[in-house]
C-alpha cells in the first residue's frame, strides 16, 4: 500500500498505476470469435478479457473487429472474388487438364513429379529414335545440298561460253 | 452479428459441402465472404504502407489459407461456438497481420496513435502496482480501453456487448476500488 499522493483526475490516476505483469495467454481464433459474440460463459470470457487487457495487439484486434462487424460492409472489388474462386476448380476440369500423353501413362496419384519425369523420359526416347531414323533422310538431304551446289557452280560459269555451247547444240539439232 | 447482405448469405453456405471442396459452394462462399474479408484486410493493412495490390494479395492469402490442405482450417470452424462471419473476420485479420509483417514494417499516421503511446514515460516516477485481484478482468479491460486506447464508451460497449451505462458504472466502480485501495478520496 502506498502513502504517495494519488492524482485526483481519473486518467492521471490510471497513468500512475501499473497492472501486474502477466504473460499474455494464447487465444485461439475460435475462442476469440466466441468471445467477440458474447457467447462464452463467464469464466471463459474472463480468461479472454484478461488476455485482451494484457496484450495491446489483441485489444486493437478486438476493437477493430467489433467495429467492422457492427457496420454495413462496403462492396469488395470484383477481382478479389474472381481470383479467390480460381483457387478451387471443378473435378472434371482437373481431369481434362491432363494431356493425352499423360493420360496414356499410369496414374501416379500424388506423384506428380514422377509422372512428369516419365513424360520427359518418353520425350527423350522419341527424340533418340527420331535421330536414328533420320540417318536416311540426312543422306538425301546431303545429296540435295550437293546438287544445289553443283547447279549454283554451273550458274557461275562465264555467260559467253554457255551461250556458245547452247547455240552449237541448237544448230546440231537443226541439222 | 450484422445485417448486411454479404454476411447474411454466409449463413446459408453449406459448410459440409464447402469442406469437401465442392466448386459451386466455394464460389458462393467466396462471393459471400469477399465483402467481409475485404473490409477486415483493408482495415488491418491501413496501419501499414500498403497498396491496392497488397490488399488484393492479402485477401487472396486469406482465401488460400482457408482452402489449403483440403480445407483443413475451414474444418476447424465450429458453428455451435461462433458465427461464421465473426470467425472469418478473426481468421482474416490474423492472416492480414502475417501478410503485412512479411512485407514490411508497420507504420501508423501520427494522428491515429493514442497520446499515451507517444508520451515519453518519466522513468523517475515509479508506478504504483495494482495488486492482483483488486480489479476484475473486465474492469481492467475497460480502463485500458478508455485510457490507454482512448476509446469512446460506445466503442467499448459494442466490443463487450453491453450497454454504455454498464461500461460507465463498471469504470466508476473500478476507480472507486482503486482510490479506496490507495487511500485517496475522489473529488
Answer yes or no: do B141 and A88 touch at CB < 8 A: no
d(CA A84, CA B53): 14
Per-residue burial over B89-99, b = 16 or more CB atoms within 10 Å of its CB, e = otherwise: bbbbbbbbbeb
pLDDT attached to residue B91: 97
Tens digits of pLDDT across chain A (175 residues): 444 565 668 888 888 888 777 777 789 999 999 999 999 999 999 999 999 999 999 999 999 999 999 999 999 999 999 999 999 987 665 555 556 665 666 555 555 677 778 888 888 888 888 777 776 566 666 777 788 777 666 555 555 556 666 667 766 765 5
Q: Cell digits for A130?
A: 527420331
Answer yes or no: do B161 and A38 touch at CB < 8 A: yes
Answer whether residue A19 is part of any domain: yes
Q: What are the chain A neighbours of B3 within 8 Å (beta carbons)?
A: 72
pLDDT attached to residue B3: 43
Taking CA–CA distances from A19, the nearest residue in chain B reads B130
Answer whether residue A114 is part of any domain: yes
Q: Which one of A52, A73, A94 terminates a domain?
A: A73
Work out the pLDDT band at B14, boundaries 50, 70, 90.
very high
Q: Cell digits for B109?
A: 499516421
The position carrying cell 466466441 is: A34
**CB distance A80 to B56 below 8 Å:** yes
Asked if A110 and A168 sit in the same domain, the reply is: yes
Answer yes or no: do A53 and B140 touch at CB < 8 A: yes
Asked if A167 and A117 sit in the same domain, the reply is: yes
The position carrying cell 495494482 is: B130
pLDDT attached to residue A122: 84
Q: What is the largest CA-CA distance in chain B?
A: 66
Strand duo A17-18 + B128-129: pairing: parallel
pLDDT attached to residue B1: 46
Q: Could you tell me what percent of chain B has a pLDDT over 90?
A: 66
What φ, ψ does residue B114 adopt, rounded to 5°? Answer: -60, 145
> Cα dihedral angle (B87, B88, B93, B95), rounded to 10 degrees?
110
pLDDT at position B144 over 70: yes
Which domains does chain B show, CATH number per domain? 5-103 (1.10.1740.10), 121-181 (1.10.10.10)
Answer yes or no: do B23 and A88 touch at CB < 8 A: yes
Q: What are the chain B neighbours of A56 within 8 Å (beta carbons)?
A: 148
Identify the CA nearest to B65 among candidates B74, B56, B76: B74
d(CA B90, CA B98): 13
pLDDT attached to residue B33: 96
pTM: 0.67
More confident residue, B72 or A23: B72
Q: Is A20's Cβ below 8 Å from some Cβ in B?
A: yes
- Which among B4, B60, B141 has CB closest to A49? B141
The position carrying cell 520425350 is: A123
Q: Cell digits for A166?
A: 547452247
Asked if A119 and A64 sit in the same domain, the reply is: no
CB atoms within 10 A of CB B20: 13
pLDDT, one tens digit per residue, over B121-133 is 555 567 788 888 8
pLDDT attached to residue B78: 94
Cα Rg of chain A (Å, integer): 43
| Strand extents, DSSP E, A34-110 | none
Asked if A68 and A114 sit in the same domain, the reply is: no
Q: What are the chain A neighbours of B137 within 8 Å (beta carbons)?
A: 46-47, 49-50, 53
Answer yes or no: do A64 and B144 touch at CB < 8 A: no
Q: What are the chain B neighbours of A73 within 8 Å (beta carbons)?
A: 2, 4, 6-7, 35-36, 38-39
Which of A:146-175 have CB within 8 Å of B? none
Q: Is A6's Cβ below 8 Å from some Cβ in B?
A: yes
Mean pLDDT confidence for B163-182? 93
The CA–CA distances, whole Å, from A66 to A28, A56, B2, B41, B156 equal 17, 15, 10, 14, 9
Taking the CA atoms of A102, A108, A114 and A118 in sequence, report the sign of the dihedral they define: negative
Give me the domain span that covers residue A152.
105-174
Answer whether residue A88 is part of any domain: no
Answer whether residue A94 is part of any domain: no
Amino acid at each position: 500500500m502506498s502513502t504517495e499522493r494519488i492524482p485526483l483526475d481519473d486518467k492521471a490516476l490510471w497513468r500512475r498505476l501499473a497492472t501486474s505483469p502477466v504473460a499474455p495467454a494464447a487465444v485461439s481464433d475460435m475462442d476469440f470469435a466466441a468471445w467477440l459474440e458474447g457467447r462464452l460463459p463467464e469464466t471463459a470470457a474472463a480468461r479472454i478479457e484478461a488476455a485482451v487487457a494484457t496484450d495491446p495487439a489483441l485489444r486493437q484486434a478486438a476493437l477493430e473487429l467489433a467495429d467492422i462487424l457492427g457496420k454495413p460492409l462496403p462492396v469488395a472489388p470484383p477481382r478479389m472474388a474472381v481470383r479467390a474462386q480460381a483457387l478451387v476448380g471443378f473435378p472434371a476440369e482437373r481431369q481434362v487438364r491432363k494431356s493425352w500423353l499423360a493420360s496414356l501413362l499410369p496414374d501416379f496419384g500424388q506423384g506428380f513429379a514422377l509422372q512428369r519425369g516419365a513424360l520427359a523420359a518418353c520425350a527423350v526416347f522419341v527424340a533418340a529414335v527420331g535421330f536414328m531414323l533420320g540417318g536416311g533422310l540426312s543422306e538425301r538431304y546431303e545429296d540435295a545440298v550437293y546438287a544445289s551446289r553443283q547447279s549454283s557452280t554451273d550458274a557461275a560459269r562465264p555467260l559467253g561460253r554457255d551461250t556458245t555451247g547452247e547455240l552449237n547444240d541448237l544448230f546440231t539439232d537443226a541439222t | 452479428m450484422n445485417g448486411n447482405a454479404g454476411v447474411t448469405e454466409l449463413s446459408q453456405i453449406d459448410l459440409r459441402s464447402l469442406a469437401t471442396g465442392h466448386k459451386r459452394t466455394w464460389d458462393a462462399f467466396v462471393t459471400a465472404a469477399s465483402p467481409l474479408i475485404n473490409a477486415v484486410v483493408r482495415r488491418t493493412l491501413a496501419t501499414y504502407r500498403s497498396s491496392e495490390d497488397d490488399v488484393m494479395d492479402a485477401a487472396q492469402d486469406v482465401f488460400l489459407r482457408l482452402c489449403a490442405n483440403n480445407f483443413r482450417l475451414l474444418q476447424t470452424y465450429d458453428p455451435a461456438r461462433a458465427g461464421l462471419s465473426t470467425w472469418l473476420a478473426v481468421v482474416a485479420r490474423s492472416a492480414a497481420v502475417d501478410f503485412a509483417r512479411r512485407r514490411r514494417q508497420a507504420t501508423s499516421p501520427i494522428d491515429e496513435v493514442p497520446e499515451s503511446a507517444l508520451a515519453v514515460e518519466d522513468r523517475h516516477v515509479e508506478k504504483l502496482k495494482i495488486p492482483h485481484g483488486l480489479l476484475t478482468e473486465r474492469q481492467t479491460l475497460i480502463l485500458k480501453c478508455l485510457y490507454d486506447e482512448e476509446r469512446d464508451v460506445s466503442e467499448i460497449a459494442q466490443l463487450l456487448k453491453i450497454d454504455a451505462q454498464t461500461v460507465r458504472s463498471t469504470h466508476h466502480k473500478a476507480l472507486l476500488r482503486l482510490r479506496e485501495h490507495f487511500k485517496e478520496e475522489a473529488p
